[in-house]
């Protein structure tokens, strides 16, 4: 089922046609508060009332013209300022390809640097999303350069890639912020774990390595990008076993997924941040979310039915 959804995410014909269907609009409401940043910020306010911070992202990926990147960067500037005006604990997460990475890497670096500077004035951070494996090395190199000048930046790494343990060790001297996710692209077995149990084991081992580094004095911010509550609680136990508090990491979940657990975890003293996505380019992102957690499919089918 995971492979099917990843194939659907990459299908250009469906990407153009499926979002136009009324049933698609009903289904996507499960994962995002519609397509405008105002709706995302209203949702963020609701989360903050429950003790949950937010991570805002405007959906979109590779561009055709570099001028599109300028418009995306301006949108993120407005998003940062708007969140500050609402007194939200809101960080933003960007895709480098959405800011022109394929077209002009220096211009992309300028855009992200300016976003980090703007976020810093409000005491907030900017995160870089990780994309498919052809971008892994260049994204990490970009982050190494960025965080040297802007320590309020973070990067997403993927637990299913074989290389990620070495990447974490590479980044530790930089006092990084690392959000670890399991991974949502169709990667070959030569570079990525395929079985769920293998990915879960990799995820747990990578988090433990970061917690141990933190215990030894490394300045690292850790984000757990997973909806696996049992795994989160297991890792909390690992942290406590080596003398670290529950606040040594932040739980980062997606809008609309396990919200009851997000609220519960926040009440129990976990740091919780909800990733609120918005924008018109939702189709590939949406299908990858289903691929990550096929259990959501039944819920989505119920949303699509007219009764």
Q: What are phi and psi of 216, to 5 degrees?
A: -80, 5
Note the maximum CA span of the chain.
56
- Closest-CA residue to 181 (of 239, 135, 223): 223
- Do strands 126-128 and 90-94 pair parallel, antiparallel, or not at all (unpaired)? parallel
| 274 part of the active site | no
Half-sphere exposure at residue 153, Cβ-oriented, CA atoms within 13 angstroms: 26
Q: Out of 58, 179, 273, 288, which one is annotated catalytic?
A: 179
Task: Give every CB contact of residue 6 below 8 A, 6+ residues apart in sequence.
Answer: 184, 185, 186, 287, 288, 291
179 is a catalytic site residue: yes
Distance (Å) of CA 225 to CA 172, 189, 270, 285: 19, 22, 14, 15
* Annotated active-site residue in 58, 129, 167, 293: 129
Q: Active-site residue numbers?
A: 129, 179
């Amino acid at each position: 089922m995971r492979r099917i959804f990843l194939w659907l995410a990459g299908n250009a014909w469906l990407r153009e046609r499926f979002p136009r269907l009324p049933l698609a609009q009903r289904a996507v409401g499960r994962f995002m508060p519609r397509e405008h940043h105002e709706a995302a910020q209203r949702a963020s306010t609701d989360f903050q009332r429950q003790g949950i911070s937010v991570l805002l992202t405007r959906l979109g990926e590779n561009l055709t013209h570099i001028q599109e990147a300028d418009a995306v960067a301006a949108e993120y500037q407005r998003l940062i300022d708007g969140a500050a005006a609402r007194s939200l604990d809101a960080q933003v997460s960007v895709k480098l390809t959405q800011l022109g990475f394929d077209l002009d890497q220096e211009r992309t670096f300028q855009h992200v640097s300016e976003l980090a500077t703007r976020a810093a004035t409000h005491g907030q951070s900017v995160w870089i999303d990780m994309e498919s494996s052809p971008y892994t090395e260049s994204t990490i190199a970009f982050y190494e350069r960025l965080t040297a000048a802007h320590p309020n930046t973070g990067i997403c790494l993927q637990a299913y890639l074989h290389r990620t343990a070495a990447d974490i060790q590479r980044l530790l001297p930089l006092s990084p912020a690392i959000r670890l996710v399991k991974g949502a692209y169709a990667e070959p077995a030569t570079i990525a774990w395929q079985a769920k149990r293998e990915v879960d084991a990799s995820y747990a081992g990578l988090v433990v390595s970061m917690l141990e580094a933190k215990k030894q004095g490394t300045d690292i911010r850790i984000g757990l990008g997973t909806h696996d509550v049992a795994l989160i609680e297991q890792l909390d136990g690992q942290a406590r076993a080596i003398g670290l508090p529950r606040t040594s990491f932040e739980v980062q979940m997606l809008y609309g997924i396990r919200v009851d657990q997000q609220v519960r975890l926040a009440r129990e003293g976990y740091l919780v941040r909800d990733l609120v996505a918005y924008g018109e380019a939702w189709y590939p992102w949406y299908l990858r979310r289903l691929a990550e957690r096929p259990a959501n499919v039944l819920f989505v089918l119920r949303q699509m039915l007219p009764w």
